[in-house]
A and B are shown apart, each in its own frame.
Chain A
Amino acid sequence: MKRNVFITTIICFTAIFFCSCGSDKKSPDASGFTYSEDFQNKLLEQCITAEDGSTIEIPEGKFLLKKPLSIDGKKHLTIKGAGAGKSVLSFLHQTEGGEGLLVTNCNDITIQGFTIQDAKGNNLKLLNCDTIAIRDMNSTWTSGSDSTNGDYAYYPVQCKHLLMEQCEASYSSDAGIYVGQTINVTVRNCYAHNNVAGIEIENCINSDVYKCKAENNTGGILVFDTPGLPLHNGRNARIYDNDCISNNGTNFGKVSSMVSTVPPGTGIIVLATDSADLYNNRIFYNKTVGISVICFQLTGKPYNDSLFGPYCNTISIHDNKFDSKAISMPDMSKDMGKLVALGLKGYKDIIVDGSADPKLRDNKGQVPDDYKICIRNNGDIKFANLNFWEVKGESDITDHVDHDLSKFDCEHAGINGNGSN
C-alpha cells in the first residue's frame, strides 16, 4: 500500500511537471476580415435559391458572416471557394443559428476550396445528404483549445456515400472530422490536429479512413459504436496507412460527451464496434496507449438501448508500426489513463479488454474464429489484455491482466470497409 502511494505521488508530481505546459489560448483570428451585409445577404440568398446543377462561388478573401449559411434540398450543387487558404469565412460574430454552414437533404453536393472558422456551434454540418464530396477545406477555431469551441469541424450525419479528402480540422471540442450514422464513408488524405478526437467514425457502416494524419489531438482516431442512436451497430471499418502521432493533448471536451473519457496519449480506440481492420498505420509517441479495443461498459457511461451491442468483435490489427519513445508519463487525468499508468505500469502499444459478447462464447469461454480480436505482425509490441470478463469489481480490475499475444494470433480477410483503394 505504502509503495503504491509513493509511486502515485512520484507519478503525480512528474505528470504535473510535464503538463505545466501552459494554455494555448489566444485571441481569435479577426484581422484582415471584412464585413459586408450586402455580401453576406447575397451569399445567403445564393445558397437558398441556387438552381440544381449550379455552382455557388466564394471569392478569394476573408469574410465575416454574422448569419449562418444553409443549403437545403438541392441536387448536383457545388459550393466552392478559391482554395482553403484563400477563401475564408469567419463566423466569429455569429448572432444566430447552430452552424456556420448547414447542408440538408441534398443529393450530389460538392463542398470545396474554402475555410470555415469560429462558428458558435459546428462549422460544417451535413444531414440526410446522399453523395457528398468535401475536399480542400479547412475548418477550425482560432482561439486555442477551448471547451466552448464547437463540437465538430466537420459533422456529416445520417448521410450516404461520403468522400472527404485533403481536408484539415483543428481545435474542435469533440471531434475534428466526425462522421456519424453514415453509410459508405471514405476519409483520406486529411489532417486532424489539436482536437479532442482527431477523426471519429461513429455508428457508421462501411468506412475507410486512410492516408490521414492525426496529430496532437487528445486521441487520434476513434471508431465508436454508441447506444441510443437511430442507426445501430456500426461496423465494417478499415483504418489503414494513417499517421497517429503525439496525440497527447489535454482533453478539453465537455464532461457529458463520449470523447471526454479519452485519456490524452491515445492513438486509436475501437469501441463496441463489429468488424474493423487496422493496418499499416504508424502510431508514434502517444504517451498512454497506441491502440485500445474496448467494450462500452469500460467507459462508465450508462445506457438503456436493447438494440445496442456493447462489445467489439471481428477486429483485426496487423502490420502497424509503433514507436513509444517514452516522452512523458501516461495520462493520469482519466480513468483509462490511470489504469494504464498504475495498473498496467506504463504505456502499452496495444490494450484489449478481453471482453466479448457472452452470447458468442462457447462453453469453454472461447469466441468463434470469425468474431475474434486478431493481432499479428506488429513487431515486438508492449501488449496487455485486461481479461475484463473475469473482473468482479473495480478493486480487482487489474488482477487478471496478462500479456499473452498468442491468443490473438489470427487474421480476418473479409473486412472491406468502403472498398476504396
Chain B
Amino acid sequence: MSGSSAVTVDTNYKEPFKKLSQYHFFKGDIKQLTPNDRVLPYDLITPLFSDYALKARFVWMPEGTAAKYVKDEVLDFPVGTVLIKNFYFPADFRDLSKGKKIIETRLLIHKPDKWDALTYVWNADQTDADLNIIGDTKSIDWIDKNGNKVHDEYSVPNKNQCKTCHAYNGTLSPIGPKVRNMNHDYSYTDGNANELDRWAAAGYLTGYNKADNIDNKMAKWDDSTTGDINARARAYIDVNCAHCHRKEGMANPTGLYLNFTNQNEASLGILKTPEAAGSGAGNFLYDVIPGKPDESIMPYRMTIDEPGKMMPQIGRKLVHTEGVALIKQWIAGMEQSSTNNKK
C-alpha cells in the first residue's frame, strides 16, 4: 500500500528500529527502493568491491540541516544524517529486467555524540528487512556479465565488523561520501546532473565551490577515459584498501598507507617489507616491486579467498579478478628504480 508517512528518524534511540520499514525511507512497494521525500539517491565514481553486489545509496538529513564541504575527507554531516546503502544482486547482470534480490540495507546514523552502524537483512519475500547485530551468511547465485553462473556465500557483517573499516582514529565514521568520489553526474529521475551540484541545490551541502573543485575528482577504476592507469589504480586502492590502510585507520600499525592523498612511496608499499602479513605474503618479500606484479604482495593478497590471509580481511568472499588485473597492470608499468633500496 502506498504510505504517505514521512521519514522517521529519532537519533536519541537506545534501541534502533527492528524493521527497515519503520524508517519510511521508501514509499510504495519497499523493494522498489523508491525514495521518500528528501531521501536523495547518489553513487560513487569508484565503489568498494563487495562480491559484485550493486549498491543503491541514499542520504537523508533533517529539515534545515546540511553537510559542510570538506576538501579531502568525508563531508562533515550534521547530527540526524542517515546514509543508506542497499546491497542487491541482479539475477542476471546482463539483463536487469530479470529481477534482483536485495540482501541487506546498511545504515549509518549520526546520533548526537557519534555515528551508529546498523544493518537490516531482507526477508526472502523482499517485503521488509530485520535488524541484525551478529551478522549472517547468505547463499546467493547469479549470472555474471559474461554469462557465467556465480555462487557466493555472502557475508553480512556483525555490528563490530562495521567499525573495522568504518574507523577514523578509533571512532565510527562514513567512508564513501568524499568530494573526489562524488564529483560526477548522476542520472536523477529529472535528468543528469552533477551530484555535488544537486546536493547543494537540495540544501544538503554548504560551502561547496564548484570552480575550486574541478580537479577534486577521482578516476573511475574501470573506465580508461576517466584517467590513466595510475589514476585509476590509486582510485581503486583508495576505495578498497585505504579505509584501513591509512594513518587514521585500523591498519595504522602496518605503516602501509594507501589513501589517495598519500604521496610517500615508502608508505605506499614500494619496496616495503610487510609488518604482519604472515602467510598472506606468500613467498614474496615486498608489498610492491615496481615492474614485477607477480612478485608483489599487494596483488597477491587480493587473489586469496582464505580468511586470515586475504585482503581486504572482511567485506568480500570472492576475488575481484578485474581489480586484481588493474593493480597488476599498474605495478607492471611502474618505473623500476632502486632509489628506495637502502642497505
Contacts and interface: CB of A to CB of B under 8 A. Distances in A.
Interface of A: 41, 44-45, 47-49, 67, 70-73, 94-99, 102, 104-105, 119-122, 127-128, 147-152, 155, 157-158, 173-174, 180-181, 228-230, 254-258, 297, 300-305
Q: Give 7 closest A-B pairs by Cβ, nearest first.
A: A120-B308, A121-B308, A151-B278, A70-B160, A256-B281, A304-B266, A98-B313
A48 B285 contact: no
Given A158-B252, A255-B285, A256-B274, A95 B153 contact: yes
B308 A98 contact: yes
A31 B184 CA distance: 57
Contacts of A96: 155, 307, 314, 317
Contacts of A180: 253, 276
Given A94-B307, A256-B274, 13 more contacts: A72-B163, A95-B137, A96-B155, A96-B317, A98-B307, A98-B313, A105-B170, A180-B253, A180-B276, A254-B277, A256-B281, A304-B342, A305-B266
A155 B276 contact: yes
B307 A120 contact: yes
Contacts of A105: 170
Contacts of A301: 273
Contacts of A181: 253
Contact of A230 (B155, B158, B247, B250): B247
Nearest to B155: A96
Nearest to B163: A72
A121 B281 contact: no
B135 interface: yes
B101 interface: no
A98 B308 CA distance: 4
Interface string B147-176: 000000101001111011001001000000
B279 A147 contact: yes
The dominant DSSP class at the A interface is loop
B308 A254 contact: no
B253 A121 contact: no
A228 B255 contact: yes
Interface string B242-273: 00000100101111000000000111000111
A5 B300 CA distance: 40
B32 to A, nearest CB: 31
Contacts of B266: 228, 304-305
B297 A47 contact: no
A147 B137 CA distance: 29
6 contacts: A67-B135, A95-B137, A174-B276, A229-B254, A256-B285, A302-B273
Given A104-B163, A256-B273, A303-B342, A97 B307 contact: yes
A97 B341 CA distance: 33
Nearest to B310: A98
Given A96-B155, A229-B255, A255-B283, A174 B278 contact: yes
Given A104-B163, A127-B253, A155-B276, A302 B307 contact: no
Contacts of A99: 308
Contacts of B164: 70, 102
A30 to B, nearest CB: 17
Nearest to A67: B135
A180 B247 CA distance: 16
A180 B274 CA distance: 14
Interface string B309-343: 10001100100000000000000000000001111
B133 interface: yes
B309 A47 contact: no
A169 B190 CA distance: 63
Contact of A228 (B158, B159, B163, B273): B273
| Number of chain B interface residues as a range | 35 or more
Interface in B164-209: 164, 167, 170
Contact of A254 (B250, B271, B278, B342): B278
Given A151-B278, A297-B343, A94 B308 contact: yes
Most buried by B among A120, A301, A305: A120
Interface of B: 133-135, 137, 153, 155, 158-161, 163-164, 167, 170, 247, 250, 252-255, 265-267, 271-279, 281-286, 297, 306-309, 313-314, 317, 340-343
B252 A230 contact: yes
A362 to B, nearest CB: 26
A181 B275 CA distance: 12
Nearest to B153: A95
Given A97-B308, A150-B278, A48 B342 contact: no
Given A105-B170, A174-B276, A41 B134 contact: yes
A65 to B, nearest CB: 12
Contacts of A257: 274, 277-278, 281
Nearest to A230: B252
Contact of B170 (A44, A48, A128): A128
Given A70-B158, A97-B313, A303-B342, A158 B275 contact: no
A304 B271 CA distance: 9
Contacts of A158: 252-253
Given A45-B134, A121-B308, A228 B267 contact: yes
Nearest to A66: B137
Most buried by A among B135, B247, B340, B341: B135
Contact of B277 (A48, A119, A256): A256
Contacts of A229: 253-255, 275
Nearest to A152: B276
A122 B163 CA distance: 19
Contacts of A94: 307-308
A72 B157 CA distance: 14
Nearest to B315: A96
Most buried by A among B308, B313, B341: B308
Contact of A256 (B137, B286, B343): B286
A99 B308 CA distance: 7
A317 to B, nearest CB: 27
B317 A48 contact: no
B287 to A, nearest CB: 9
B311 to A, nearest CB: 9
Contacts of B252: 158, 230
Nearest to B307: A120
A393 to B, nearest CB: 12
B268 to A, nearest CB: 11
A254 B283 contact: yes
A295 B73 CA distance: 40
A119 B308 contact: yes
A27 B287 CA distance: 32
